[in-house]
Amino acid sequence: MTAAVEYDVVVLGAGPTGENVADRTRAAGLSTAVVESELVGGECSYWACIPSKAMLRPVIARSESRRVPGVRHAVQGPLDAAEVLAHRDEYVAHWKDDGQVGWLDSIGARLYRGHGRLHGHRKVVVEGPENEHHVLTARHAVAVCTGSRAVLPHLPGLAGARAWTSREATSARSVPGRLVVVGGGVVGSEMATAWQALGSRVTMLVRGKGLLPRLEPFVGEHVAEALTEAGATVRTNVSVAAVQRNGGGAPVTVVLEDGELIDADEVLFATGRAPRTEDIGLETVGLEPGSWLPVDDSCRVEGSEWLYAVGDVNRRALMTHQGKYQARIAGAAIAARAGHVPLLETDRWGAHSATADHDAVPQVVFTDPEAASVGLSLAEAEATGRRVRAVDYDLAAVAGAGLYADDYRGRARMVVDLDREIVLGATFVGPGVGELLHSATIAVAGEVPIDRLWHAVPAYPTISEVWLRLLETYRG
């Protein structure tokens, strides 16, 4: 059966980014179709942010409670892994998307299940699960919101080794006795934290000098130290040469470049991501299949008047909250260009210019301890050629930190533009620092002068008092 239908907007991908594009275009009165080949809600809802944080929250809560007088003796036992995993399953709705589908219905968007491909100018062809064939034409815009996928390296034996990627790591039904984690980025560090606490003996294998290399160097040092104290083995400057597994429930053997063998029950490769654009018809509009899609600050694909690429696929900032931010920008831009919302009305706040992707991207890494950053690191700021200075402070010296937990360990860094006297970036590592991040984001995104930050008084005794200490240190 073939059906041809016309909409104002067609959205490829119903993850958080695609959902938010649809929400904004529907709110502007534009008819909108959404195409999804898997679960409505996407990677974040079922295999990334939500399940991983559901697994990590008990880990972090127990760890912090063990450092609080009057509570520590009550939480010395192991985590109930079965209960943690069951709680995770509830949070991902047991991998059913009825609730998300209901939400799409509530905003008046039309859902097409199946594989969608571009088919030339403003057209999308959808092959449904029961051989339905839909041809969708977009009057104004097609938004590609297909996200990214985990990448496995080309290693001998890996194809048949049933290695975990981030999806298996966040959806596994039982705790592996021994887990090797290859990669020291966010996914590797978070999953090592979770599974070590749930009962695995974790070995991390990292090619570089340390964990979380995109953050300030001291962050990875704190996280590696904590993982080691928890019982994990963290090995840096090592490379994997091959993987071996002989069928059934056999253990897996990881072969290092020097010939050393490491046996485990499971191996997780957290070694990067690629755009999910390899089979969405990019070649029919003059673009390369499998490529990242360069866009302008409204998320419109360079050289196109109607094609948008929003979220991970444009490679500006591979985080759910940034994808949702871009979706709000793109939705406003599409509506304005369609004439449904006055351009000046929506743009007076920069409503269709995704400037935060350049200067103020916030990120929390939910390890134990947490890490949080926004804006530029010291190295990144120096690379721009500006006169900058890093101001560091020991978080343990803040009164609120000692009250938060005994033996509090952490560090804060503020990167200042010396000529403009504004904050270019801030990084924190320590228990509970994720809640410090939005104040830092406001300071960076708002380009708040240092002289004004003096008048943002932190409540006492909270960890937020570190802002006062950073400013005092800067002034000397």
Q: How many CA atoms lie within 13 A of 27 on its CB side?
A: 12
Q: How many CA atoms lie within 13 A of 15 on its CB side?
A: 30
What is the arithmetic mean of pLDDT over 165-190?
98
Token readout for 148 is 């990214």
Task: Pick left, alpha or beta for residue 248 (phi over 0 → left; psi -120 to 50 → alpha; otherwise beta).
Answer: left
- 422-469 pLDDT, tens per residue? 999 999 999 999 999 999 999 999 999 999 999 999 999 999 999 999
Q: Which residues of 287-302 are buried (b: 16+ CB within 10 A; e: fewer)?
A: beeeebbebbbbbbbe
- 186-206 pLDDT, tens per residue? 999 999 999 999 999 999 999
- In the chain, pLDDT over 70 holds for what percent of residues? 97
Could you give the 3-state DSSP secondary structure of residue 8? strand
Helix residue ranges, H only, 92-216: 98-107, 166-171, 186-198
Residue 407 has pLDDT above 80, yes or no: yes
Could you give the 3-state DSSP secondary structure of residue 373? strand
Q: Which pLDDT value is given to residue 79? A: 96
Do 388 and 416 touch, CB atoms closer than 8 A? yes
Residue 349 has pLDDT above 80, yes or no: no
- 325-347 pLDDT, tens per residue? 999 999 999 999 998 765 444 44
What is the arithmetic mean of pLDDT over 13-22?
98
Handedness of CA 311, 18, 362, 306 (dihedral sign): positive
- 233-248 pLDDT, tens per residue? 999 999 999 999 987 6
Do 334 and 356 touch, CB atoms closer than 8 A? no
- Please give the mean pLDDT across all residues of the chain: 95
What is the arithmetic mean of pLDDT over 166-192?
98
Q: H/E element holding 81?
A: helix 81-91
Tell me which DSSP letter residue 283 carries.
G
Residue 24 binned pLDDT confidence (cut-offs 50, 70, 90): very high
Angle, CA of 434, 440 and 443, to the nearest 5°: 165
Residue 419 has pLDDT above 60, yes or no: yes
| Total residue count of the chain as it appears in this document | 476
What is the arithmetic mean of pLDDT over 98-112?
98
Phi, psi of 218 (to 5 degrees): -65, -20
Residue 249 binned pLDDT confidence (cut-offs 50, 70, 90): confident
Looking only at the bridges linking them, the beta strands covering 178-182 and 201-205 are parallel
C-alpha distances (whole Å) from 261 to each of 201, 241, 369 are 16, 10, 30
Token readout for 166 is 């981030």
What is the arithmetic mean of pLDDT over 95-119?
98
Q: Please, which residues bridge with residue 252 across strands?
A: 245, 264
Residue 356 binned pLDDT confidence (cut-offs 50, 70, 90): confident
Token readout for 194 is 């979770």
More confident residue, 411 or 2: 411
**Which domains are seen in the chain, by residue range?**
2-41+97-149+275-356 (3.50.50.60), 166-271 (3.50.50.60), 369-475 (3.30.390.30)
Distance CA 470, CA 465 (A): 9
Q: Which pLDDT value is given to residue 342? A: 56
- 296-325 pLDDT, tens per residue? 999 999 999 999 999 999 999 999 999 999
Q: Which pLDDT value is given to residue 341? A: 61
Tell me which DSSP letter residue 18 carries.
H
Tell me which DSSP letter residue 215 carries.
S
Q: Which pLDDT value is given to residue 353? A: 80
- For every residue of 257-276, DSSP letters joined together read TTS-EEEESEEEE---EEES
Phi, psi of 78 (to 5 degrees): -70, 160
